[in-house]
Structure 1
């Protein structure tokens, strides 16, 4: 890895081995950022790092293992990042999964909710003191959040009936709730937090129920290059400095969220529950 240029923005981003995360990491490096990629599969992460280095000579890109479904892995990754980076200018929560059947993590949580919300929540809290005025936290959510409900008593109940669509939508609602609650907490420090919908992207993340409909949906689907645009806009556009507690669509436009996502009491209840679940 090349040394980061003095003054380069330091970016920490999850989920960069494929899809929009891979494109985002590449374009951030092309923009002169020093990129730390948190990935579950380090071999795949190293291949992406090497690809970026070949495309962007002198790129400062490093790989840190982080399985967001496992709290111990998140803590270890955060410790490594803290050792290497005195400051984080952009923290981008891009990683996400879907699952067709219920799976429990080593910590006893439903895997989709753990990966898509609890891991990012813990990672943010462990790195928050590395953020400084002007830093930005970006959560890649989904328009699926508008279909979701959130029952905090059931959200980690491994005995509850599992519905893949509902589990994914619930985790994406949690992303938006988290972004809004975080924005309030960071407001006095000049740090922003926003969420976005990247579009319906033709990546391997598409679950089987959407893969079946893919031929019918294709006209409304976008590729990973287009799917990364909003994340890149939120990370790089100077016109968005100071914009916080907002939700953007795939075109980078401010759009409304569901009523539940705007419920401050639910935002705070999720925050308190999440902190308890991850052991903070």
Structure 2
């Protein structure tokens, strides 16, 4: 699973310029679902629909960090009933329903509690991929396994994810934060092999090599990218230009009379910024 990847931004899905040979091979050896629609534009709610097979109004986790109800059956639960292990490697955006577990006498540290906290999966490695520090502290207070990896590789500082994997270097040699879209055209200040996607892929390879073959298993491999911040290491940061990105399909009715919510969003600061050609040229290729 890739976070925020458009369905048609794969060469096997017909994109005219993007070249995705590895995903194309997976598609050719598996199944492509070409008529599937997500149930919510919100990351957490959409994921909970994927894991449960239910509409948002049914499972109730309607927004990011809304807990999934304890009684919801998930993909991992269904697979385990037929003798298949289900493992998480990467992101779920899952918020555990701790209040429900306490009410039912389920310890979060028990096997059942751990699975309820991870959408029914056993956890090989959990990393939701956003480890920024803001005025209210860290975005995610858990210890990042990716940050531990970066520290072991010699990347210094309290938060190497923020200072290296999601930041470039400006003309004066200072950190150019990937949170700012004006820096989207810069290369992340990290070796490509140490960036987030290769790191998680290496963990997947470790997992596969550790399997003894006794039990059937499923691995939910879940990457944070291409989720914002829009900054990646060389050579990917300038691999494509803004003229190689296919335009969004719009009807004339949308142009003439946009939805009131969309029209209002266009007048906000970020909406006005994206009307500037210099902003579009810097950010869209990212």
Q: TM-score, normalised by structure 2?
A: 0.32
More strand by share: 1
Q: Which has the larger radius of gyration?
A: 2
